[in-house]
Chain A
């Protein structure tokens, strides 16, 4: 139990944090593209 909570869980959480950080970049780019399209739409 202690090995799971003190070693495995922190490593899993770290990976999740880094994965979301990576995905955040493309999410913000998508929003900006969407905003640009709406701005230039007739």
Chain B
């Protein structure tokens, strides 16, 4: 990859600002500060942090590739994602914020179903977040390898290790501060690239529009109805209240701030998906037909931006990867301490704080190791994503809305939902293309109500309990 001195200066400046922010916000003296930043996050920081976590390589480089191949098709299909974020902001996030004594989703589950459900929630959360960190590290490491030609494993270790050190020292508030900076960087540079592409386009916007609709129609013709439904459903449920997102709601200063942060994030995601998708459409006027769709994003930057600004675009891509990784590491460490370790033997406050920091490094180390086995990891990550909603959503809704339940409802819902989703995909190979997430959710619901029939808890949760 050819980059000029100006570009290198731009990338170095980005790392300097990141280190400065890490230094300014690094100290925290308790586990509560490490996990929830003192529950003092304002709405705008929740918005920036959530948005920078959501905008990963898939929602930037990957979405531009989809725009290049299928025009607006994926933009319309993936609108279910921001819709889910807005609905979460309106109905779920404020309820989570009211639970001031909870640091994780496992804590929320524990209030309604007990320790077994908390432990299971912790296992699923940590497993998912290790996979997520590994994939981000692999993408970032591969880019670093392309620039420096250093050994791949060293590049994975450098990307994930440096993110872990930043998260390790500062906890949630340092994570939020660096994510806000990263959000600003990519929200300024990428729109500039799109506007430059419009300005330099050799054909008019009306002609570009015609190209976009032709690509959209072609994409629609080659995709079956059930496959389209699968994409919509997966984007709606796949990342619903993942630990890093739930963590932001639990760390918010007020319920209103939490709600506003999520709603703004949903609206921003619509804007973001539209602009990175259209970059792919505009690319047809600049790039030759032989370009690989996954490279369109970077190639457009290289072709259109002057030296320095191209370096900032590369820094923005690093920011997109690092910000997603930071959130995964922090919430993974918190879930490990609160939901797994504390379920077995609760540590003292001081020990929990130390354990939180050390488990950040531990999760990063495991993620660096598993990043080497990429193809199986991608498959594994897809399985974990399709298992998240069937295991967690039903019992979580039960806890948040005060549905009558027993401890059995919690773990049976998780086991039946997750088990069915897994069998549906791996054993039965998704019959009739019905999305595993839907089948798993139905099984999870059955498990929840079966658990209620088996034995009613002497003290069932109510809305008053949740509000308290």
| B208→A6 contact, CB < 8 A | yes
Closest to B184 in A: A21
| Chain A residues with a Cβ closer than 8 Å to the other chain, count | 28
| B205→A6 contact, CB < 8 A | yes
Distance (whole angstroms) from the CB of B306 to the closest CB of chain A: 18
In the docked arrangement, what's the CA distance between A20 and B178, Å? 12
Residues of chain B in range 6-31 having any CB-CB distance to chain A below 8 Å? 21, 24-25, 27, 29
Closest to B38 in A: A34
List chain A residues, Cβ under 8 A from B278.
2, 5-6, 9
Residues of chain A in range 1-17 having any CB-CB distance to chain B below 8 Å? 1-7, 9-14, 16-17
Q: Is B236 an interface residue (CB 8 A)?
A: no
| A4→B274 contact, CB < 8 A | yes
Distance (whole angstroms) from the CB of B128 to the closest CB of chain A: 27
In the docked arrangement, what's the CA distance between A3 and B72, Å? 13
Closest to B43 in A: A23
| A10→B275 contact, CB < 8 A | yes
Closest to B211 in A: A2
List chain B residues, Cβ under 8 A from A9.
191, 194, 271-272, 274-275, 278
Closest to A11 in B: B191
List chain A residues, Cβ under 8 A from B209.
1-2
Q: Interface on chain A toward B: helix, strand, loop, or mixed SS?
A: helix
Evaluate whether A17 and B184 lie within 8 angstroms (CB atoms) in the complex, with A2-B205, A2-B278 already known. Answer: yes
Q: Is B293 an interface residue (CB 8 A)?
A: no
Evaluate whether A7 and B198 lie within 8 angstroms (CB atoms) in the complex, with A13-B272, A17-B184 already known. Answer: yes
Distance (whole angstroms) from the CB of A10 to the closest CB of chain B: 3
In the docked arrangement, what's the CA distance between A21 and B21, Å? 13
Q: Is B190 an interface residue (CB 8 A)?
A: yes
Q: Which of A2, A17, A24 contacts B187 (CB 8 A)?
A: A17
In the docked arrangement, what's the CA distance between A7 and B218, Å? 25
Chain B CB within 10 Å — which of A11, A13, A35 has the most?
A13
Residues of chain B in range 162-205 having any CB-CB distance to chain A below 8 Å? 173, 176-177, 180-181, 183-188, 190-192, 194-195, 197-198, 205
Q: Is B42 an interface residue (CB 8 A)?
A: yes
Q: Which of A3, A11, A19, A28 contacts B24 (CB 8 A)?
A: A28
Distance (whole angstroms) from the CB of B232 to the closest CB of chain A: 19
Q: Is B315 an interface residue (CB 8 A)?
A: no
List chain B residues, Cβ under 8 A from A28.
21, 24-25, 177
Q: Which of B21, B191, B205 contacts A14 (CB 8 A)?
A: B191
Distance (whole angstroms) from the CB of A28 to the closest CB of chain B: 6
Which 6 pairs between the two chains have the least Cβ-Cβ distance? A17-B187, A10-B191, A2-B209, A5-B274, A5-B278, A21-B184
* A residues at B contact (CB < 8 Å): 1-7, 9-14, 16-21, 23-24, 27-28, 31-32, 34-35, 38
Q: A5-B75, A10-B275, A23-B45 are in contact. List 19 more A-B contacts (CB 8 A).
A: A2-B208, A2-B212, A2-B281, A6-B208, A7-B195, A9-B271, A9-B278, A12-B271, A13-B187, A14-B192, A16-B271, A21-B180, A23-B42, A23-B48, A23-B180, A24-B177, A31-B25, A31-B177, A34-B38
